[in-house]
Amino acid sequence: MQPATAVASPPGLSSADVAARVAAGKVNVTDDTSSRSLWAIIRGNLFTLFNAILGVALVVVLSVGAWKDAVFGFVLLFNTLIGAVTEYRAKRTLDRLAILNEAEVTAIRDGAEHRVPIREVVLDDVLRLSLGDQVPADGEVLTSAGLEVDESMLTGESEPVDKVTGDPVLSGSAVVAGSAVVRATKVGPDAYAQKITAQAKQFSLVGSELRSGINKVLVVISWVIVPIAFLLFWSQIRNVGGWQIAFSGDGWRDAVVQAIAGIVGMVPEGLVLLTSINFALAAVILARRKVLVQELPAVEVLARVDVLCLDKTGTITDGSVELDELVELEGVPGARELLATLAREPGASPTAAAIAPGLQDVPSVAQQEVVPFSSARKWSGHQAESGAWVLGAPEVLLASRGADDAVLARVREVATSGARVLLLAHVSEGELVGESLPDDVRPALLAVLRERVRPDAAQTLEYFAAQDVEVKVISGDNPATVGSIAESVGLEGGAESVDARTLPEDRESLREPIRTSRVFGRVTPEQKRAFVHALQDDGRTVAMTGDGVNDALALKDADLGIAMGNGAAATKAVARVVLLDGRFSTLPGVVAEGRRVIANMERVAALFLTKTTYAVLLAVVVALVAWPYPFLPRHLTLVGALTIGTPAFFLALAPNNQRYRQGFLDRVLQLAVPCGLICGSGVLVVYGTLHLRGEELQASTGATLTLILMALWLLGILARPWNWWRLTLVGVMALGAVLAVAVPFVREFFALEWPTGETAQLIVVVGVIGAALIEVVYRLRERRLARAEAPRPAPGQVGVDASTDRASR
């Protein structure tokens, strides 16, 4: 590699040239939205299986003029609006954030340099690229000063690519070393990145166990709902006297409404609505904490995370460093002067700039960078009058020396105290040849710097340990330094840091060291992605934090990508959660909110799926015996409001610290199915007894009140452990049931009547027996779950009773 020379500055385009290209549409305007479009959001929330089932039922009910029985249509409307509005609000917040943090590039126009937004770059613009810049458009290198670009986001090539005069550069790649002047040859949609990165930017739904479980139920219902609907309609037609009699009057309309009642009862519409509300509320709560949730189900994924991978810099530390000590190793003339010069360079890195206060009285000298610094190489080369020099990581520069080298021993000693160390070494041969690191270098100066540890880092890591979330620190710094800092904030295993350069490259062999170690140093960008894959292969749910463009692929592959608000646009685009203020201490609240959502939804889902179970049982039985369906749609609306929808809303939003447990749907069905069969059987007993006596209105009233009584007992079980507001909630719902039959106009609207003494006695007897059976089912399930979830403690450890953990909810 030839020594880099100062990058010449061509005059670039004139203002008139720029205006002409803007008028011709040759501008770098691209579709860089990081979330779904408004129409895609509406379409995704409107055209769902849930909406299709209820939508058809709503149209049928309205078409026969039974508007009182179309109340369930509001659930359909609210569910769609809540999901769409919340996601759109998140989209707008992120888009505004993207504008506020919009990247700029240096364009040379009219012979002068100007900082312009990337979207204002035009075709043939002359651009100056420096370390850390993202290439805004495809271009051709005019002059290069050791330019190296990272094209991993585009081509998958992990190694930085050298660029010399005449080479092409691709939009979306990042400058990781050197600088250059390039001419834009393709802008906007014609650029390479816009053509091949659609998949990387494409919106994809995050995996949701809640939604997956609900969708499984809906799929089953969708298969059985059509035959049951026809069977119900046929049985109701038979019940009113056959086809001829039914269609000669209004009997067919009653048959349709009763068939729809059976169909609507099978759909757990409130569960879908409540899930959306809970996700939306969590997103709003987190937004107030400066956390942007880009997709609602990501809140649930927060609860499932059991491994959190984070970088040391910006999380445990605040990212700033200060000079602690400057150690002179060998008396090499010109060393202090060159180091002072490098620390004062306008484009010096924060690490190098932190050295400047310790060399205030040292004069600067002329120098030339001949090997630019890169994160992969971890050193840079410089030429001065005093000779050739290298600056970088000591263990890299002195790798040719033995492990017992005195300087390396000193470095290890300093690094174990949590310091970051830079070494300036003189090249004995007098010059650098290419990018190869000379074997014979003389260590001259050792700069010892310390990072500022965040005051809340220890408390944050303590929270994750208490919540069984394993934290792994992944850093590009010296392993000893990373380990020391991790240990200083109480991270278990921090002292046993691993040098990532010693890890195997194949995915299978990587699993064991990643599984057993907690702290890693000298990690390259491509290794971060490999770490995520290795953990996922072990069945772990991985969250990854990041802010740089080199973190984007790892964040996208993680189960939950968490980006910093001041991070690269590409990183925020693929992340599910964005920490707008970039504070690590925000994460415990994020995880806690996710766990509240999924734990509470498991609590109330049994209410909704119990309803689905008894609705299916009733539909099948009345169709086979040709009874009228026990309920009108408005009856089920009343039952749902008092025993499911209203109380579930409060229970779902209550505080809950229950840890995530896999198998949400299985646990819910273990309770919901037997309880639904008990409720349905009780309704059939009461309704059948009164129907066979010809007391139709008493039969519907008795069936409705019996169902409410048993469902309220199930509600009381799921509200445990009881406190004042939960007991009040159940009491108010019971009072509502009494008022529904006691208040004349309410009773008339819901097509009920005051129960006779004999009907009331039947309701109480059947209701109490049903409640007792539900209590037995619940206790048996709890005992079975306690045995299945009992921890198997390691020798010398004491396990925690699973039933105690559940009782704390």
569 DSSP assignment: H
pLDDT band at 6 (very low <50, low <70, confident <90, very high): very low
Mean pLDDT of 692-720: 92
| Interatomic CA distance for residues 547 and 569, integer angstroms | 9
Residue 440, Cβ density class (10 Å: 0-12 exposed, 13-18 middle, ≥19 buried): exposed
Check residue 774 and give left, alpha or beta (phi > 0: left; psi -120 to 50: alpha): alpha
Range name among 389-398, 529-538, 543-552 with the lowest pLDDT average:
543-552
Per the model's pLDDT, the better-predicted residue between 423 and 802 turns out to be 423
Residue 529 has phi, psi (to 5 degrees) of -65, -40
Is the pLDDT reported for residue 658 higher than 90? no
pLDDT of residue 236: 66
pLDDT of residue 755: 92
Interval 321-377: pLDDT, tens = 788 888 888 878 888 888 888 888 766 667 778 888 888 888 888 887 777 776 667
pLDDT band at 248 (very low <50, low <70, confident <90, very high): very low
pLDDT of residue 535: 92
pLDDT band at 70 (very low <50, low <70, confident <90, very high): low
CA-derived radius of gyration, the chain: 34
Is the pLDDT reported for residue 192 higher than 90? no
Per the model's pLDDT, the better-predicted residue between 153 and 697 turns out to be 697
Is 747 within 8 Å of 737 (Cβ atoms)? Answer: no
Per the model's pLDDT, the better-predicted residue between 593 and 244 turns out to be 593
Is 681 within 8 Å of 706 (Cβ atoms)? Answer: no
Q: Which of 79-88, 441-450, 736-745 has the highest mean pLDDT?
A: 736-745
pLDDT of residue 55: 80
Mean pLDDT of 615-631: 85
Per the model's pLDDT, the better-predicted residue between 151 and 531 turns out to be 531
What residue type is assigned to position 303 of the chain?
A
Mean pLDDT of 537-551: 81
- Indicate the average pLDDT of the chain: 79
From 69, 133, 254, 311, the catalytic residue? 311
Is the pLDDT reported for residue 462 higher than 60? yes
pLDDT of residue 805: 41
Between the alpha carbon of residue 236 and those of residues 252, 595, 619, 627, the distances in Å are 8, 46, 11, 7
The full length of the chain comes to 809
Per the model's pLDDT, the better-predicted residue between 763 and 421 turns out to be 763
Is 448 within 8 Å of 414 (Cβ atoms)? Answer: yes
pLDDT of residue 121: 92
What residue type is assigned to position 686 of the chain?
V
Residue 424 pairs in a beta bridge with 391, 445
Q: Which of 379-393, 495-509, 744-758 has the highest mean pLDDT?
A: 744-758
Mean pLDDT of 135-149: 87
pLDDT of residue 743: 92
Mean pLDDT of 462-468: 85
577 token code pair:
């959660």
Give SS3 for 270: helix
Query: Which residues does 101 contact at the CB level (< 8 Å), separation at least 6?
Result: 565, 566, 569
Residue 24, Cβ density class (10 Å: 0-12 exposed, 13-18 middle, ≥19 buried): exposed
Is the pLDDT reported for residue 685 higher than 80? yes
Per the model's pLDDT, the better-predicted residue between 418 and 530 turns out to be 530
| Interatomic CA distance for residues 526 and 314, integer angstroms | 20
| Interatomic CA distance for residues 120 and 102, integer angstroms | 11
What residue type is assigned to position 413 of the chain?
E
- Known catalytic residue at 311: yes
pLDDT of residue 159: 59
Element (H, E) at 447: strand 441-453
As a three-state string, the secondary structure of 375-440 is CCCCEEEEEECCEEEEEECHHHHCCCCCCCCHHHHHHHHHHCCCEEEEEEEEECCCCCCCCCCCCC
Is 183 within 8 Å of 125 (Cβ atoms)? Answer: yes
Range name among 58-72, 496-510, 613-627 with the lowest pLDDT average:
58-72
Residue 649, Cβ density class (10 Å: 0-12 exposed, 13-18 middle, ≥19 buried): middle
pLDDT band at 194 (very low <50, low <70, confident <90, very high): low
pLDDT band at 430 (very low <50, low <70, confident <90, very high): low
490 token code pair:
């109480």
pLDDT band at 235 (very low <50, low <70, confident <90, very high): confident
Per the model's pLDDT, the better-predicted residue between 219 and 738 turns out to be 738
Q: How many CA atoms lie within 13 A of 105 on its CB side?
A: 29
Cβ atoms within 10 Å, residue 256: 21
Range name among 16-20, 279-283, 320-324 with the lowest pLDDT average:
279-283
Query: Which residues does 502 contact at the CB level (< 8 Å), separation at least 6?
Result: none
pLDDT of residue 34: 47
pLDDT of residue 704: 94
pLDDT of residue 320: 72
Is the pLDDT reported for residue 611 higher than 70? yes
pLDDT of residue 51: 78
Q: Which residue has the tokens 């409540």?
A: 274
pLDDT band at 730 (very low <50, low <70, confident <90, very high): very high
pTM score, two decimals? Answer: 0.64
Per the model's pLDDT, the better-predicted residue between 566 and 196 turns out to be 566
Mean pLDDT of 302-306: 82
Q: Among 705, 608, 703, 613, which Cα is nearest to 664's? A: 608
